[in-house]
Chains A and B, each alone.
Chain A
Amino acid sequence: MTRRLLGHLLVLAGIALALMPPVSAGESAAPLPNRLASLKFAAIGDNGTGEQPQYDVAYQMDQWHQRFSFDMVIMLGDNLYGSQQPSDFVRKFERPYKPLLDAGVKFYASLGNHDNRSNDAYPLFNMNGDRYYTYVKKDVRFLVLDTNALDPPQLAWVERILQAASERWKIAYFHHPLYSNGGRHGSEVELRVLLEPLFVKYGVNVVYSGHDHIYERLTPQRGITYFVAGASGELRRGDLRRSPTTAAGFDQDRSFMLNEVAGDDLFFQVISRTGSTVDNGVIHRKGTS
């Protein structure tokens, strides 16, 4: 009798575990550790369509935010497509992300090729009128670049900021990917030969980009992990041309990323529009597994 009861309890416990959200505090087996003192942020790219799929992704972001309380969202460019009138900022940004904005989540945008240059003055993008800027959160230095115009003053600024940065983590994000196996655009080699030497020299750990409307994680390139996360609104289904540099990818639906920096580890989890996890893992500050 006791053995049967124990068996039932085990089955029930198994069912309960399966139904639980994939991330909860204290579960080391879960993709994201969700530690109290860690830095948590989401990443979205090529999102600003104002159409239903963007709203679906935004809904998933809100659902996950209730379990994994990220403080900020990094935007990888093409934050608004098409018309960029004040009403468009409402339809393509403020309305879909309203629950997050209401919860105090801050968005830090970079500019894509579809963004008007003047969008850097939009207060909710937190760019303070600068098309490239930097900020620090906990022990992470974020570098936000404008790859539409990677001019000499910007390059000199990047070197100056990285040289002076003393934070444990250095993360760069911008619109055009230095590495990508997206079929439509692919790697922006002209930008890569300018930026990669600086990133390597000054120890940038992780780089996030959009532009290709897919999700891709690349195998570390010269010690740096590159993500392409350009499918948070737009999608180019089947556009990922897998190569030996593709560590993981997803091109069947929209997606967004959740990230957590805890000590020497950066945990990431990629969620699709329907809420399923399509990639996850951890990047150690020196090397990746």
Chain B
Amino acid sequence: MSRSWRDALAYYPLLPIGALIALVWANTASDSYFRLAQALAFPVNDIGVAFGIASLAQDVVEALGPGHALRWRTVRLPIVIAIGGILGTAVAYATYLHFTDEQILGDGWRIACGVDVFVCVALARLVFRRRAAITTVILFAVTSDAIALILVSRRPFATSADAVALSLIVLAVVVSALLRRFGARSMWGYLAFAGPIAWLGCYWSGLQPALALLPLVPFFPHAPRPLDDLGSDLHEHARLSHFESVFAYPLQAVAFLFGLTNAGVLLRGIDTGTWAVLTASLIGRPAGILLSAALFRDHLFRWKELFVIALIGSVGLAFALFLSTSVFPEGPLLTQTKLGAIATLAGSGIAIAAARALRVGRFA
């Protein structure tokens, strides 16, 4: 079995199964599906996903932390193309909406900024042999998602922020820093004491609660590993890192429930929002990536390699689905944009076809 398939099976097996069940259920017995999905939305999206995001952040912190310092040259291109990609996404989304008259979808551009890290990593490993290309894709995806998280962190339909709620987040960070200062080696101390405080701070302040563990992750116990190891060698690494060890299987359940809760959309809901997200992701982001790379004039990759990287980066899928629940509340706008997020999976087929046609990486 190739490594990409192994990684996909390690991290992703239950999400597409949950998503498929949700799609079939929503389109055959919609009332019962939506009742269940709405009951699950809070525990899955606001609590379960917090552990998923923390796990991803832990991977990144371990890769970027002491012992694996990346060279600036490796980091600067992904950062530039991530910014370029987001600008391209925003421009394409706004341009598409300009030619319709549904300005009510205006906030949806942030959904299209999401990049599915694990699909992109799997695709990069499928296409490229060079570690540099895989590292670039990972850094690009993580940077894009970090920016996207900042863009959606405040939910427009949430209650108003107040200083007390925000100070809870600061308190949680202080508690984590103290735990680390006093050499706490177990993950549970951080999760039990600092985690709930940070979560309540996010929830009451109107920030996305799924981000609650993010400011605490740098304090978690971790061990260095190479960045292109992201999402792989789970069991070998588990001995070193408590978080993955404890949450490997619960996160599979979260992934399944995430797919089940969020991917169930009525297919007849395809509408302006769907096409806007799709246009922004499949056209705007690759265009922004290529344009920013051209302005940056980095010669790390040939143009056809960059073209394939740009297409790989067009897949928003699970992360775009997650962002959509932060941007729009229940209703037709959410349905439309969710359909767009799911449809960005088409970008993976386009990327592989382009790699074959241009003889890039393993297809050379």
Contact = CB atoms under 8 A, between A and B. Distances in A.
Interface of A: 81-84, 111, 113-117, 147-153, 176, 185-186, 188-194
B104 interface: yes
A60 to B, nearest CB: 26
A117 B333 CA distance: 14
A176 B331 contact: yes
Given A113-B104, A153-B159, A193-B38, 11 more contacts: A81-B101, A83-B101, A113-B332, A147-B332, A152-B329, A153-B157, A176-B331, A190-B335, A191-B331, A193-B31, A193-B34
Going nearest first, the 4 A-B pairs with the smallest beta carbon separation are: A151-B157, A151-B329, A189-B30, A193-B34
A147 B104 CA distance: 11
Interface in B6-39: 30-31, 34-35, 38
Contacts of A115: 104
Given A190-B34, A193-B31, A149 B328 contact: yes
Interface of B: 30-31, 34-35, 38, 101-105, 157, 159, 266, 268, 272, 328-335
Contact of A189 (B103, B104, B159, B266): B266
A190 B262 CA distance: 12
B31 A189 contact: yes
Question: From DSSP, what is the main secondary structure of chain A's interface residues?
Answer: loop
A149 B331 contact: yes
Contacts of B34: 189-190, 192-193
Given A82-B101, A115-B104, A176-B331, A193 B35 contact: yes
Nearest to A111: B104
B102 A114 contact: yes
A9 B268 CA distance: 59
Contacts of A191: 330-332
A142 B34 CA distance: 27
11 contacts: A111-B104, A113-B104, A113-B332, A149-B331, A151-B157, A190-B38, A190-B331, A190-B332, A190-B334, A191-B331, A192-B34
Nearest to A80: B101
A195 B333 CA distance: 17
B330 A117 contact: no
Contact of B331 (A83, A116, A150, A186): A150
Highest count of chain A CB atoms <10 Å: which of B30, B34, B35, B331: B331
Contacts of A152: 157, 329
A116 B31 CA distance: 30
A171 B66 CA distance: 64
A152 B42 CA distance: 12
A149 B157 CA distance: 8
A150 B38 CA distance: 13
Contacts of A194: 38, 330
A153 to B, nearest CB: 7
A194 B34 CA distance: 9
Nearest to B38: A193
A148 B38 contact: no
Nearest to A83: B101
Contacts of B157: 149, 151-153
A149 B271 CA distance: 16
Contact of A116 (B104, B266, B335): B104
Highest count of chain B CB atoms <10 Å: which of A117, A151, A192: A151
B159 A148 contact: no
Contact of A188 (B38, B101, B332): B332
A117 B102 CA distance: 10
Contacts of B159: 153
Contacts of A189: 30-31, 34, 266
Nearest to B32: A193
B245 to A, nearest CB: 36
A137 B268 CA distance: 37
Contacts of B329: 149-152
Contacts of A83: 101
Contact of B333 (A81, A148, A153): A148
A111 B102 CA distance: 12
A192 B31 contact: yes
A109 to B, nearest CB: 14
Given A149-B157, A151-B157, A153-B157, A190 B104 contact: no
Contact of B104 (A81, A82, A148, A153): A148
A186 B268 contact: yes
Given A151-B157, A185-B268, A189-B266, A116 B332 contact: no
Contact of B332 (A81, A84, A148): A148
A189 B269 CA distance: 11
A191 B268 CA distance: 15
A150 B334 CA distance: 10
A25 B111 CA distance: 56
Contacts of A117: 103-104
Contacts of B31: 189, 192-193
A113 B333 contact: yes
Contacts of A176: 331-332
A192 B26 CA distance: 13
A49 to B, nearest CB: 11
Contacts of B330: 150-151, 190-191, 194
Contacts of A186: 266, 268
B104 to A, nearest CB: 5
